[in-house]
Amino acid sequence: MQRGKISIQNLNLHFGKHHILKDVNIEIPENQLTVILGPSGCGKTTLLKTLNRLVELDDMVKIDGKIFIDNEDIFHTSTDVTDIRRKMGLLSQRPSPLPMSIFKNVAYGLSLNGVRSKKQQIPLVEKNLREANLWDEVKHRLKDPAIKLSIGQQQRLCLARGLAVNPQIILADEPTSALDPISAKVIEQQFLELKQNYTVVMVTHVLRQARRLADYVVFMYLGEVIEQGPVHEFFENPKMEKTREYLKGAFN
Partner 1 sequence: MWKKIEAQIFHGLMVLSVISLGVILFLIIFSIVYRGLPHLTWELVSQTPQGGFYIGRDGGLLNAIIGSLYLSAGAVILALMLSLPLAIAMNIHYRKNKKLVNSIRFVLDLLWGMPAIVYGAFGFTLMIFFGIKASLLAGIITIGLFILPILTRSMDEVMKNVPITLLEAAFSMGSTKAEVSFRVLIRQTLPGIVTAVLLGFGRGIGDVAAVLFTTGFSDNIPTSLTHQTATLPLAVFFQLGSPIEQVQNRAFATALLLTIIILLVSLASRYFGNRFKKSIIK
- The footprint of partner 1 (CB under 8 A) covers 52, 54, 57-59, 82-90, 92, 94, 96-101, 108-109, 112, 145-147, 158, 161-162, 165
Residue 125 φ/ψ, nearest 5 degrees = -60, -45
Least Å from the CB of residue 227 to partner 1: 28
Taking the least distance from each CB to partner 1, the nearer of 59 and 136 is 59
Least Å from the CB of residue 246 to partner 1: 29
Least Å from the CB of residue 247 to partner 1: 31
Do the Cβ atoms of 5 and 30 come closer than 8 Å?
yes
Which residue in 102, 120, 123 sits closest to 111, CA to CA? 120
Q: Give how far Cα 106 sits from Cα of 97, 128, 152, Å.
A: 10, 8, 16
Taking the least distance from each CB to partner 1, the nearer of 54 and 207 is 54
Taking the least distance from each CB to partner 1, the nearer of 84 and 201 is 84
Taking the least distance from each CB to partner 1, the nearer of 28 and 48 is 48
Least Å from the CB of residue 167 to partner 1: 9
Beta bridge partners of 72: 69
Q: Give how far Cα 71 sits from Cα of 8, 164, 218, Å.
A: 11, 24, 21
CA–CA distance, 22 with 3 (Å, rounded to integer): 27
CA–CA distance, 102 with 76 (Å, rounded to integer): 36
Least Å from the CB of residue 203 to partner 1: 14
Residue 138 φ/ψ, nearest 5 degrees = -120, 0
Least Å from the CB of residue 123 to partner 1: 20
Least Å from the CB of residue 137 to partner 1: 18
CA of residue 189 relative to chain centroid, distance: 15
Taking the least distance from each CB to partner 1, the nearer of 100 and 192 is 100
What is residue 196's DSSP assignment?
Answer: T
Taking the least distance from each CB to partner 1, the nearer of 171 and 186 is 171
Cβ-in-10-Å burial (0-12, 13-18, 19+) of 89 comes to buried
Q: Give how far Cα 34 sits from Cα of 31, 108, 222, Å.
A: 9, 28, 19
Taking the least distance from each CB to partner 1, the nearer of 26 and 146 is 146
